[in-house]
Chains A and B, each alone.
Chain A
Amino acid sequence: MINKRKLLAILLVIVLSVTMLAGCGSKPAENPDDGGKDNEAPAEEPGSNEPVSEEDKFGGVMTVALSSSPKNLDPVKYTGVYEGNVISSIADTLVKYKQDLSEIVPSLATEWTTSDDGKVYTFKLRDDVYFQKGEYQDGRQMTAADVKYALERSATESAMNRLGMLDHVEIVNDFEVKCYLKEPNSAFLTVLTDAGNVIVPQEEVEGWGDSFGSHLVGTGPFSIKEFKKDQEVVLERNENYWATKPYLEGLVYKIITDPNQMTNALRTGEIDIATDLGGESVKIVKDDAKLTIQEVPGLHVAYLYMNLMNGPTADIKVREAIIKAIDIEEMVKGIYQYDEAQRAYLPLPPGSWGYDETLEDSIPTYDPEKAKELLTEAGYPDGFSLEVYVSNKPARVKMCTIIQAYLKQNLNIDLEIKTAEWGTFSEVASSGEADMYGMSWTWYPDPFFFLNKMFHSSEIGALGNGQGFNNPDVDKLLDEALVISDTEQRAELYKQALKLITENYSRINYSNEKVIYGFNPEVQDFVMRADNKIVVCSPEVNVWMKH
Chain B
Amino acid sequence: MIKTILQRILQLIPILFIVSTIVFVLTRIIPGDPAVTMLGPQAPVEAVEELREELGLNKSIGEQYILYLKNVLKGDFGKSYAYNEPVTKLIFERFPNTLILTAISLILAIIIAIPIGIISATKQYSIFDYVSMIGALVGVSMPIFWLGLMLVLVFSVNLSWLPSIGMGSLENGIWDYVSHLILPSVCLATIPAATFARITRSSMLDIIKQDYIKSLRSKGLKERIVIWKHALKNALPPIITVIGLQISTSLSGAILTETIFGWPGMGRMIVDAIENRDYALIQGTVLFIAFLFVFINLIVDIIYLYVNPKINYEGKKGGE
A residues with a Cβ closer than 8 A to B are 4, 7-8, 11-12, 15, 19, 23, 26, 29-30, 32, 69, 71-72, 74, 77, 79-80, 158-161, 164, 210-211, 213, 228-232, 254-258, 260-261, 264-265, 267-268, 270, 420-428, 430, 439, 441, 443, 449, 453, 458-459, 461-464
Contacts of B149 in A (CB 8 A): 260-261, 264
Contacts of B166 in A (CB 8 A): 231-232, 254, 270
Starting from the known contacts A257-B262, A423-B31, A462-B48, 18 additional A-B residue pairs (CB-CB under 8 Å) come to: A15-B138, A23-B150, A26-B154, A69-B272, A72-B83, A79-B38, A210-B84, A229-B264, A254-B262, A258-B262, A261-B149, A261-B262, A265-B164, A270-B165, A420-B31, A422-B32, A423-B37, A427-B32
B202 touches A (CB below 8 Å): no
Subset of 10 A-B contacts with CB under 8 Å: A26-B150, A229-B264, A257-B259, A258-B259, A261-B260, A270-B165, A422-B32, A423-B31, A423-B37, A461-B45
CB neighbours of A461 from chain B (8 A) = 45
* B54 closest partner in A (C-beta): A159
Contacts of A424 in B (CB 8 A): 30-32
In the complex the two chains form, is A29's CB within 8 Å of B153's CB?
yes
- Are A79 and B138 touching (Cβ within 8 A)? no
- Which residues on B sit within 8 Å (CB–CB) of A427? 31-33, 36-37
Nearest residue in B to A226 (C-beta to C-beta)? B169
Contacting pair A423 B32 (CB below 8 A): yes
With known contacts A11-B134, A72-B82, A229-B264, A29–B158 Cβ distance under 8 A: yes
- The answer for the CA separation of A410 and B275 in the assembled complex, in Å, is 37
State whether A79 and B39 are in contact (beta carbons under 8 Å apart), knowing that A15-B134, A32-B158, A231-B264 are contacts in the complex: yes
Q: If A261-B165, A270-B163 touch, does A462 touch B260 (CB 8 Å cutoff)?
A: no
B168 CB to nearest chain A CB (Å): 10
State A154–B260 Cα separation when bound (angstroms).
37
Residues of A close to B92: CB separation below 8 A: none
B211 at interface (Cβ–Cβ under 8 A)?
no
Asked if residues B42 and A265 are in contact (CB atoms below 8 Å), the reply is no
Interface centre among B82, B152, B166 (most CB of A within 10 A): B166
Interchain CA distance A80-B32 in the complex, whole Å: 18
Cα A213 to Cα B85 in complex, Å, equals 10
B269 nearest in chain A by CB position: A230
Instruction: Find the residue from B31, B41, B264, B269 having the highest chain A CB count within 10 A.
Output: B41
Which of B30, B125, B157 makes the CB contact (< 8 A) with A268? B157
* CA–CA, A23 and B277, complex, Å: 38
Verify B153–A26 contact, CB threshold 8 A: yes
Using a CB-CB cutoff of 8 Å, which residues 104-155 of chain B contact chain A?
A: 125, 130-131, 134-135, 138, 149-150, 152-154
- In the assembled complex, the CB of B285 is this many whole angstroms from the nearest CB of chain A, namely 14
Q: How far is the CB of A24 from chain B (nearest CB, A)?
A: 12
Closest to A211 in B: B85
| B-chain residues with CB within 8 Å of residue A19 when the two chains form the complex | 138
Closest 8 CB pairs of A and B: A423-B32, A161-B47, A463-B41, A423-B37, A424-B31, A230-B264, A264-B164, A15-B134
The interface size bin for chain B is 35 or more
B136 CB to closest chain A CB (Å) equals: 11
Minimum C-beta distance from A541 to chain B (A): 26
Q: A12-B134, A164-B46, A423-B277 are in contact. Are A80 and B157 (CB under 8 A)?
A: no
Residues of A within 8 Å of B262, CB to CB, are: 231, 254-258, 261
Residue contact A421 to B275, C-beta cutoff 8 Å: yes
Q: How far is the CA of A439 from the CA of B40 in the complex (A)?
A: 12
Q: In the complex, which residues of chain B have a beta carbon less than 8 angstroms from the beta carbon of A260?
A: 149
Instruction: Please report which residues of chain B, range 74-118, place their CB below 8 angstroms from some CB of chain A when the two chains form the complex.
Output: 79, 82-85, 90, 93
Q: Would you call B48 and A270 a contact (CB within 8 A)? A: no
Name the B residues within 8 Å of A422 (CB-CB): 32, 37, 275
Chain B nearest CB, measured from A19 CB (Å)? 6
CB neighbours (8 Å) of B138 from chain A are 15, 19
Q: Is the CB of B85 within 8 A of A161?
A: no
Q: How far is the CA of A425 from the CA of B31 in the complex (A)?
A: 9
Min CB–CB distance A476 → chain B (angstroms): 20
Does B83 lie within 8 Å of A71, measured CB to CB? yes
Residues of B within 8 A of A255 (CB): 262
Q: How far is the CA of A267 from the CA of B156 in the complex (A)?
A: 9
A159 touches B39 (CB 8 A): yes
List chain A residues, Cβ under 8 A from B264: 228-231
Q: How far is the CA of A300 from the CA of B125 in the complex (A)?
A: 62
List B contacts of A261 (CB < 8 A).
149, 152, 164-165, 260-262
B44 proximal to A (CB < 8 A): yes
Which of B31, B39, B44, B51 interacts with A164 by CB under 8 Å?
Answer: B44
Known: A230-B269, A270-B165. A160 touches B42 (CB 8 A): yes
> Does B164 lie within 8 Å of A268, measured CB to CB?
yes
Bound: A213/B82 CA distance, A: 11
Cβ of B205: which chain A residues have Cβ within 8 Å of it?
none
A80–B82 Cα distance when bound, in Å, is: 11
The 8 Å CB contact of A270, one of B30, B130, B164, B277, is B164
Q: A231-B264, A426-B37 are in contact. Are A161 and B43 (CB under 8 A)?
A: yes
Tell me which of A160, A231, A421 contacts B47 (CB under 8 A).
A160
Given contacts A15-B134, A29-B153, A257-B259, are A77 and B164 in contact (CB under 8 A)? no
Closest to B256 in A: A258
- A386-B182 Cα distance, complex, nearest whole Å: 49
- Give the residues in chain A near B223, CB-CB below 8 Å: none
Q: Are A428 and B41 in contact, with the CB atoms below 8 A?
A: no
Q: Mark B1-21, 1 if CB is under 8 A from A, else 0.
A: 000000000000000000000
Give the residues in chain B near A7, CB-CB below 8 Å: 130
CB distance from B205 to the nearest CB of A (A): 16
Residue from A268, A426, A459, A464 within 8 A of B156 (CB atoms): A268
Min Cβ gap A96→B in Å is 19
